[in-house]
Amino acid sequence: MRAPRHPWLLTAAATAVTAVFLLPVYWMVKTSLTRPERIEAPDPQWVPGPVTGENYSAALGYEGLTRALLNSLVISSGVVALTLLLGVPLAYALARVRMRGSGAMVLALLVAQLPPAIVLAAPLFILERRAGLTDTYLGLIAADTTLTLPFTVIVLRPVMRGVSPELEEAALVDGCGLPGVLLRVVLPLMVPGVVAAAGLSFLIGWGEFLFGLTLAQSPDVQPVTVLLNAFVGQHGTSWGALMATATLISVPVVCVFALFQRFIVGGLTTGSVRG
Amino acid sequence: MRQPSARRTRTGYLFCLPGLVFLALFLAYPLLYNVWTSVHDVDLGQLLGGAERFNGLDNYRSVTDDPAFWHSVRLSLVFTLASLLLQFTIGFALALLFARPFPLNGLLRSLLLVAWLLPPVVSGTLFRWMLDAESGAYNALLEPFGLSHDWLTDPSTSMAGVVFANVWVGVPFNMLLLLVGLHTIDPVLHEAAEIDGASAWQRFRHITLPLMRPVSVTVLLLGLLYTFKVFDLVFVMTGGGPVDATRVLSLYVYEVFFTFFRFGRGAAAGLLLLVVPLLVGVWYVRRLRREEEPAGGAV
């Protein structure tokens, strides 16, 4: 498209749109920094006035919160590890090895993203209960990985195709087996892709709620998303602490996004359907 | 000296095995088990005692006889259609704006995406606060126009409230995909039309819109798949209420299963919920394959 005559006018318009759009996010952070007695004033303050950390100490003072944040960290790290462990070889084989049925496998991975999480949560509840996996990190990690694994493979496969086959052939000629080729030749070349896929899986694991709600009854393993929802019910009016908690949950999301932005945008437009 | 291809193929299968076994255990098996549950009489007691009784299509019958189920179907339709229409239109308008080159374009675009990346539980909580009757920021803005309202606790407006939040979540994604589509349109077309005296509206109507049709179909289908199964956002904002004003299908299934522990019925309802995404998804995947895996093709 041609360069517009007044590019800064467009910048102004886009800035205004973005500001209006992001008002809720601003309001979340603003509320979290406002003194509790001023939060529910009939005339909301548009700037926090004296900034305070009170809401954060109130939220963190609730013993469950640090535990839940830690649980979320454990769960989403586990999701990342399991997803990469299972997904990288799978994506590589589907990208590079001629196999019967690889078309069917790709199709299955696409279809695997269709079932709404609630349809899976119900039978998983029964089955994991029988297997003794409810109320365990493992049970939650496995459930969340059903969301991230198909997605990661779909996203990584084209990335792996991008690695020049000559390099692999050379390594194979040198007597490297396929696992060696994957570990020593392909993986180093696609570190950015794999790291970003890890970032994506982390985001999905970190934000997951339904499996946390249904498969974890004990606060020992419940993720912070479930705790936030419980807060909304219990301390429905303590908006300061709530918004502080919401902000705390959002910070890792924004950091991970800022780090891997390019790939995440590409990956999410290529991949995700289920939620 | 090439590695024999049979061995390579075997190794390839071995690479696939762990991932496929995992998906079989934690995805395929539970879904099949759900089918089994849906034709049995299972509640919490029977589950622990192991005395499930086969009851044919009884569960399906009791779900489809339940007026609350059909109410949820209607709500899901309203929620999905309203969300799709609004987020697509707004997303398209934003895509047209961001398709033009201007300073800070990339930065502002990334900022918009933050809205979409927040965990739905956070967005839900956030919109509860924004729409709060007494101190919500939106009501403070609407007050001067006499439009402030208790959006989420009034059954006649709570659906509008959750749609509003869902549109907010969906707009950046719509914008992103449509923007990719806009960039594939050859600018020469617009220039030629402009020289021929076509107005901006005519160019949009006769060049941009027709060429955007395939992308638009993709965006709308993905939006449909996504919106139809939204759970977290609505659950956190209203819990399906007030009364049952926002109890969309996914919440209905949740309630039957996890609140009333009617597992057989819940499984049946879940499978009915699966029908729409499955039909749409299969149609979409077939369409994708016909286009032979275009770069950046979705799902």
* pLDDT, tens digit (0-9, with 9 covering 90-100), for B214-233: 889 989 998 998 899 899 99
Choose between A139 and A160: higher pLDDT.
Answer: A139
**A225: nearest CA partner in chain B:** B121
pLDDT at residue A225 is higher than 90: yes
Those residues with Cβ within 8 angstroms of residue A185's Cβ, 6 or more apart along the chain or in another chain: A163, A167, A168, A171, A176
Highest mean pLDDT among A63-67, B68-72, B195-199: B68-72
Would the CB atoms of B120 and A207 count as touching at under 8 Å?
yes
Nearest CA to CA, how far is B23 from chain A (Å)? 7
Mean pLDDT estimate for chain B: 88
For B43-69, what is the mean pLDDT? 83
**Closest by CA position to A27, among listed B227, B140, B232, B60:** B140
- pLDDT-derived band of residue B16, with 50, 70 and 90 as boundaries? very high
Per-residue burial over B83-105, b = 16 or more CB atoms within 10 Å of its CB, e = otherwise = bbebbbebbbebbebbbbebebb
- Who's near A82: CB < 8 A, 6+ residues apart? A141, A142, A145, A149, B22
pLDDT of residue A164: 74
A residues 75..134 contacting B (CB < 8 A): 82, 85-87, 89-90, 92-94, 96-99, 105, 107-108, 110-127
Using the beta-carbon criterion (under 8 Å), do B129 and A110 form an inter-chain contact? no
Is the Cβ pair B2, A93 closer than 8 Å? no
- Residue B10 amino acid letter: R
Rounded CA-CA distance B8/A169 in Å is: 12
Question: Is A229 within 8 Å of B235 when comparing Cβ atoms?
Answer: yes
A182 touches chain B (CB under 8 A): yes
| Least confident segment among A48-57, A88-97, A156-165 | A156-165
* Per-residue pLDDT at B168 exceeds 90: yes
Instruction: Please give the pLDDT value at position B146.
Output: 78
Which is higher by pLDDT, A225 or B8?
A225
Least confident of A45-49, A200-204, B108-112: A45-49
Q: If DSSP codes are grouped into helix, strand and coil, which group holds residue A181?
A: helix
pTM: 0.90
Q: What is the C-alpha to C-alpha distance for residues A177 and B261, in angstroms, rounded to an integer? A: 52
| Confidence bin at A191 (pLDDT 50/70/90) | confident
CA angle B281, B22, A155 (to 5 degrees): 50
Which residue in the set A2, A90, A229 is minimally distant from B15, CB to CB? A90
Characterize A179-189 residue by residue with b for buried, 16 or more Cβ atoms within 10 angstroms of its Cβ, and e for exposed: eebbeebbbeb
Q: What is the predicted pLDDT for the residue at B292?
A: 53
**Count of CB contacts below 8 A, A vs B?**
309
pLDDT at B159 over 70: yes
pLDDT computed for residue B10 by the predictor: 85
pLDDT of residue B248: 95
Q: Is the pLDDT of residue B211 over 50?
A: yes
Residues of chain B in contact with residue A43, where contact means CB-CB under 8 angstroms, are 140
pLDDT band at B234 (very low <50, low <70, confident <90, very high): very high
Residue B43 DSSP one-character state: B
Contact A41/B at CB under 8 A: yes
What gap in Å lies between CA B86 and CA B170, rounded to an integer? Answer: 9
pLDDT of residue B172: 93
Query: What DSSP letter does each residue of B209-275 carry, written as one string?
Result: HHHTHHHHHHHHHHHHHHHHT--HHHHHHTTT-STTTT--HHHHHHIIIIIS-BHHHHHHHHHHHHH
Average pLDDT in the B88-94 region?
Answer: 96
Percent of chain B with pLDDT over 70: 94
pLDDT of residue A32: 92
Q: Check pLDDT > 60 for residue A105.
A: yes
Q: How far is B135 from chain A (nearest CA, A)?
A: 5
**Nearest chain B Cα to A215, which residue?**
B258
Query: Which has the closest alpha carbon to A243: A21, A36, A70, A69?
Result: A36
- Rounded Cα distance between B198 and B257, Å, is 58
Half-sphere exposure of B7 (CA within 13 A, CB side): 9
Residue A275: the pLDDT is: 40
Q: Average pLDDT in the B71-93 region?
A: 96
pLDDT of residue A271: 53
Query: For residue A75, what pLDDT band results from cuts at 50, 70 and 90?
Result: very high
Q: Which of A22-31, A160-169, B29-38, B197-206 has the lowest mean pLDDT?
A: A160-169
Question: What is the average per-residue pLDDT within B182-203?
Answer: 88
**In chain B, what residues touch A269 (CB-CB under 8 Å)?**
173, 176-177, 180, 296, 298
The whole-angstrom distance between B97's CA and the closest CA on chain A is: 7
CB of A234 less than 8 A from some CB of B: no
Q: How confident is the model at residue B162 (pLDDT cuts 50, 70, 90)?
A: very high
Does B4 have pLDDT greater than 70?
Answer: no
Q: Report pLDDT for B115.
A: 87
CB-based contact, A252 to chain B, within 8 Å: no
Q: Which H helix or E strand runs over A63?
A: helix A63-96
pLDDT given at position B299: 38
Calpha distance B277→B281 (Å, rounded): 6
**Structure-block tokens of residue A221:** 């393993």
- The arithmetic mean of pLDDT across residues B91-105, rounded, is 93
